[in-house]
Amino acid sequence: MMSEFNENLTPSPAGPGAPDLEPSCGIRFLTDFWRDKYLREYVKNGGSKIKFVTGRPGSGKTHFLGLMTAIAKEEQYKTVCFSAKNVWMHDFKEIYIEIFRQCNIMECLGSISRQVIQKMGFDLGDIPDNMKFIDYLSQQNMGDAFTKREIRLLLKQTFLDNPMLDNNFALACGMLTGSILGYPILEDQSRDLLLAWLEGDRSVKLSQLRGLGFYPSRITKFNARHMLRSLAEVVRLSGFSGLFITIDNLEILISRSSLDPVHYTKLKREDTYESIRQLIDDIDTMRNIMFVYAFDRELTDQENTGLKSYQALWMRIQNEIVGERFNRFADMVDLDLLAMQEYTPQVIVSMSQNLARHKKNTPVLPLNLDQAEEIAAQARTGAVGIPKLIQIAMGEVKTDV
């Protein structure tokens, strides 16, 4: 199974936040480039980007997403990973909800609350654990109206005066941050209500929210991208470099298997394509966010049901100039083309050595140069990618241990 191959090449942490990327071999040609040009420069400095990764089954798409996620964590990004097999893709609200759930917004707002305390000139180390800031101020005889007014002013400047934030999203975050600080006071029931609204919970009654002093509308597929922009801004404000999101297995859109957990009708599939098109068109209105979609190349090869069947989307993601050399700037990343260029027989041997070193349950021998050359030749006409061919070849070369 390709999942086994991915697991064996998944970076093993050398310590918290410090994954070992050595098993990556040839793919570093691309991951290092993305790290330098996008994560460290373009996205970190306020840009936003969407990339599409494709290739034959076994070409290493899932492994690539895992490596990029590990690198993004090293670069201080908030990371979100999920599969199109588990989240409906035709309604962007469902995508927003999944991203929101994985972002842990209260952790982000906790970081912002500490920034507020520091801006007011206080040392975080002086405040006892589990004590709210307002209680500490009262203990120091500083909980007067002027100090409280300064807290309100800083919350307003951080959230309500920020043009990247939806007004209701900003107000909810300001109230939740205030609840962490202890002022303005927010009851637990109201706190849970705000979080439920932010998460798109349809059971929330808008009349209850109006009782808190603001008048939001429900989060739908029409405003979910705007809410995502707000969420990405809160992530940035909390100290992260940005938001890095990977979505795997998009080929589920054209699958006809009855075993799949979700099944897409023609209407839902086209709604998904339209949702991605709208995201592409709106991406320049966002900041510090990067999407990476991955799928088997059948999604581009299928004329009647694949990406090419929805011209409004295909026109936006196809590469206008296709050359023999792999283009690391391309928004449509072909891992098969990358493999043909970078996975020389020597690199294939190195990949097999790394895989053998990480095999624990069933020890195997790495490949020799002749076997690697044969794999490179097979990959030119085969139905699967080089990583899968390596796994298959190594499965036939067991040790006597």
Bridging pattern class, strands 332-334 and 289-296: unpaired
SS3 397: coil
DSSP, residue by residue, 5-71: HHHHHSPPBSSTT-B--GGGGGGHHHHHHHIIIIIIIITTTT-EEEEEEEESTTSSHHHHHHHHHHH
| Contact in structure between 217 and 93 (CB atoms under 8 Å) | no
| Contact in structure between 384 and 336 (CB atoms under 8 Å) | no
Looking at this protein, which amino acid is placed at residue 197? W
> Looking at residue 49, what is its pLDDT?
97
Residue 401 predicted with pLDDT over 80: no
The per-residue pLDDT for range 106-120, each reduced to its tens digit, is 999 999 999 999 999
Average pLDDT over residues 158-187: 96
Residue 6 predicted with pLDDT over 70: no
* pTM reported for the whole predicted model: 0.89
> Looking at residue 355, what is its pLDDT?
82
Average pLDDT over residues 11-21: 39
Average pLDDT over residues 17-45: 80
Looking at this protein, which amino acid is placed at residue 270? E
Lowest-confidence pick of 183-197, 226-240, 244-258, 379-393 = 379-393
Residue 372 predicted with pLDDT over 80: yes
| Contact in structure between 165 and 233 (CB atoms under 8 Å) | yes
Reported as a pLDDT band with limits 50, 70 and 90, residue 260 is confident
For the chain, domain boundaries? 2-91+240-342, 107-210, 345-395
Question: Was domain 2-91+240-342 assigned CATH 3.40.50.300?
Answer: yes
Instruction: Identify each DSSP E strand in 201-288 by its residue range.
Output: 242-248
Structure tokens, 122 = 């206080």
Structure tokens, 61 = 């798409």
Residue 14 predicted with pLDDT over 50: no
Higher-pLDDT residue of 273, 388: 273
Looking at this protein, which amino acid is placed at residue 192? D
Reported as a pLDDT band with limits 50, 70 and 90, residue 262 is confident
Average pLDDT over residues 54-71: 94
Structure tokens, 29 = 């040609």
Reported as a pLDDT band with limits 50, 70 and 90, residue 397 is low
- My answer on whether omega of the bond before 11 falls inside 30° of 0, hence cis, is no
What's the chain's Rg over C-alpha atoms?
Answer: 24
